[in-house]
Amino acid sequence: MITPFRNGAIDEDCFVALVERQIAGGVHGLVPVGTTGETATLSHDEHRRVVELCVKTAAGRVPVVAGAGSNSTAEAIELVRHAKTVGADGALVVTPYYNRPSQEGLYAHYAAINEAVQLPVLVYNVPGRASVDISDATLARLSKLPNIVGIKDATGDMTRASIQKITCGDDWVMLSGDDPSALGYIAHGGHGCISVTANVAPAQCAAFFDACLAGDLEVARMGQARLVRLHKALFLDASPAPTKFAMAHLGLCTEDCRLPITPCADAVKPAILDAMRDAGLIG
C-alpha cells in the first residue's frame, strides 16, 4: 500500500479509506509500509502508526503483513516485534540494503529475527534496489527455520520459483514482487503477488489473481492483457509517484510524496492515463 500524505504529514483518514477500498475490491491481504509505502522516509513513529492503523482498520478481515525491513538487524527485529505487538499477521523483511552482506550474513540476519520474534516472516528479495541477491541455497537453509515462511521475489526470474518449490518444500510461501511477471511466476509454482498495481486497481487485480489461483488460464491471460500496460506505466517515474498520480486522478489521495521522491513527471502522465483506460478505470 502507498502511504498518503497531505501537507507533509500522513493523511490518516485517507489511509483508512484506502484500506477499506482494498478490502472491498477483494484483495487477499494488505502490506503497509513496504517500499511502495515510502517507508525509507517515514520516521519510526510514523511507520508504527501506519501499521497500527492498517491492523485496526482491517480488523481481521484480511491478513496484514507489515513491512519491517532494515539494513540493521537490531532495527529490523524492533520493527518485527512491533508488528507482532499490534496484531499483524506477518512481517515483510527486505534483504539488508547498501551494506551488501555475504550469504552467511544474510542467513544470520534472518536467523536472528526468527529467534527474536515469533511471527511469520517473508523474505523480500529485490536485488535491483537492495544491491544484494539472497541465493536459493540460502533460502533453502532459511526455510528450515520455523518463522521464516516464504518470499516476495522481485527478481523477475521465473525459474527461481521452480527451484524453491523443490528446495524449500511445499509449505514455502512464494509471492511475486513484480506485477508484470506474476502470471509466469504463479505458473512456475508461485502463490500470488505483493502488488503495486493493486493500489490503483484492487478489484481488477484481485479478479486476475483469483483466476490464476483457480487455474483459469484464459481468464488470467485476459486480465494480464488488461493490466500489463498499467503495470509498466506505474514505473515510468520513480515509484510510487506514478501510482499516486493515478490514484489522485481517481480522487483517492493527493500526489504528495516525500523527498527525494518528487511528484510524477508531466511527460509520463499521458501514458499512465492511457494504461488506466486499458484497465477500465477511466473512460
Return the active site residues.
Answer: 124, 152
At 271, list the grid cell.
501514458
Task: Specify whether the CB–CB gap between 156 and 181 falls below 8 A.
Answer: yes
> How far apart (Å, rounded) are the C-alpha atoms in residues 219 and 198?
18
At 182, list the grid cell.
506474476
At 204, list the grid cell.
481488477
Radius of gyration of the chain (CA): 18
At 178, list the grid cell.
513484480
Task: Specify whether the CB–CB gap between 201 and 227 falls below 8 A.
Answer: yes
> Strands, DSSP E only, in the chain?
5-6, 9-10, 65-67, 90-94, 121-125, 148-153, 173-176, 192-193
Q: Between vectors from CA 143 to CA 88 and to CA 140, what angle results, nearest 5°?
A: 145
> How far apart (Å, rounded) are the C-alpha atoms in residues 275 and 280?
9
* Environment class of 87 (CB within 10 Å of its CB; exposed 0-12, middle 13-18, buried 19+): middle
The number of angstroms, rounded, from the C-alpha of 199 to the middle of its chain's C-alpha atoms is 10
Q: Could you tell me which residues come within 8 angstroms of residue 278 by beta carbon, excluding any fewer than 6 positions away? A: 226, 227, 229, 230
Alpha helices in 38-100 (DSSP H): 44-58, 73-85
At 172, list the grid cell.
514455502
